[in-house]
Structure 1
Amino acid sequence: MKFYVTRHGEAVWNVDNKICGRTDVELTEKGYAQAEELAERVKDYHIDLIISSPLQRAFETARTVANRYRIPLQIDERLIEQNYGIYEGKDRQDEGFLANKRQFAYRYPEGGESMMQMAYRVYGFIEDVKKNYPGKNVLVVCHGGVCRVIRSYFTDMTNDEFFHYYKENCQIEEYEL
């Protein structure tokens, strides 16, 4: 079973270098073009199912691929980006945000979520896909933080590698389930 993972197309706040988290921001024109390019790149992947985060930047990316090839598309809340609490909308280089990002068991202030909480839900999602779709090729469309956690499921990473891991918009990684 192939498990393909991609980050959504460019969103408005990506251009402004803002932390998107769970804020539901839309794709830019470039983001829609990236989604079209993604659809072209996966044409020979024999994808049976696409599962997307409910946030519009991921869903619109997923829908572009699904519509082109008439692939079933599902939404899974567990793929929503990490809740960054007070850092939503702030600059990605904010010192407080970067310090918090290194503390895996620490919740982001004011209603945020820890990396460990996010890993719990994302790992559960992967286990459910493995159990429910054996032999199927699945494309997951989600967010940078979720992509980082998915990579850690399949690949051992040091804390520093995990912290610095970054996936470009609409870049695909392939895993075997």
Structure 2
Amino acid sequence: MKIYSTRHGQTSYNRQEIILGTTDILLDSTGEKQAEELAKRINDLNSIDIIISSPMKRALQTSKAIADKCGLDIITDERLREWDYGEYEGKSRFTEGFAENKVNFGVRMGKSGESLLQLAHRVYSALDDIIKNYSDKNVLIVSHGGVCRVIETYFNDMTTESFSNWFMDNCGLIVYNTD
């Protein structure tokens, strides 16, 4: 089984370097183009059987572009929603304390959000279920930057430093082999 992981296309928040977690917005025009290009790339791969997506608008819009191009079904999973960044939501990515809070695993983001441990718990449980329930298929997961970072830790060991510096581009694509 292969699990492909991608991050949704660009949004206006991404373009402006604004922290985007629970705010549910659509892709901007660049993000729409990125999703179409990713759909062509995935169609050319001809190896994905199903899409499992975050239910958030930006991820579903990306998933739909791929599903339409490739004739694939989309299943949504709430556990693939983006990290709840609490009081950091909607602020600059360069806000004091944001980068540091991201690597304090047991501390809730922005006081009222999720800790990294909470995020990892829900994403790991989604991955465990995907591997168990779709072991005979190749799956594309369409999610978010924070979720993609946690998916990377599921398959590859990461130090705190490598975790804090790891980044997934909008509509980037990584493949993980579960064998």
Equivalent residue, structure 1, for 2:71: 70
The SS at the match of 1:50 is: strand
The aligned counterpart of 2:14 is: 14
SS in 2 for 1:139: strand
> 1:62-141 to 2 correspondence within 5 Å?
62-141=63-142
User: What is the rounded CA distance, in whole Å, between the counterparts of 2:123 and 2:46 in structure 1?
Assistant: 23
Q: 2:100 & 2:48 partners in 1: Cα distance?
A: 38
User: Deviation of residue 67 (structure 1)?
Assistant: 1.1
- CA distance in 1 between counterparts of 2:171 and 2:13 reads 16
The Cα of 1:47 is off from its aligned counterpart by: 1.0
User: Partners in 1 of 2:119 and 2:137 — Cα distance?
Assistant: 25
- Give 1:110 deviation, angstroms: 4.3
CA distance in 2, matches of 1:36, 1:162: 29
CA distance in 1, matches of 2:148, 2:20: 14
Distance, in Å, in 1 between the alignment partners of 2:68 and 2:29 is: 18
TM-score, normalization by structure 2: 0.96
Could you say what secondary structure the match of 2:97 adopts?
helix
CA distance in 2, matches of 1:72, 1:102: 35
Counterpart AA for 1:95: E
Whole-angstrom distance in 2 between the partners of 1:11 and 1:41: 20
- Write the distance in 1 (CA, Å) between the matches of 2:27 and 2:177: 29
Equivalent runs, 1:136-175 vs 2, <5 Å: 136-175=137-176
Q: Would you say how many aligned residue pairs link Structure 1 and Structure 2?
A: 177
Percent identical residues? 48
In structure 2, stretches of 5+ residues that fail to align are none
SS at match of 1:21: coil
Contact 2:42 2:70 in 1 (8 A): no
Q: Which residue of 2 aligns with 1:5?
A: 5
Structure 1 unaligned runs (5+)? none
Show CA shifts across 1:9-51 (max 9, x none). 0011001110001111210101000000001111124211101
- Please give the secondary structure, in 2, of the residue aligned with 1:175: strand
Stretches of 4+ moved more than 2 A in 1?
none
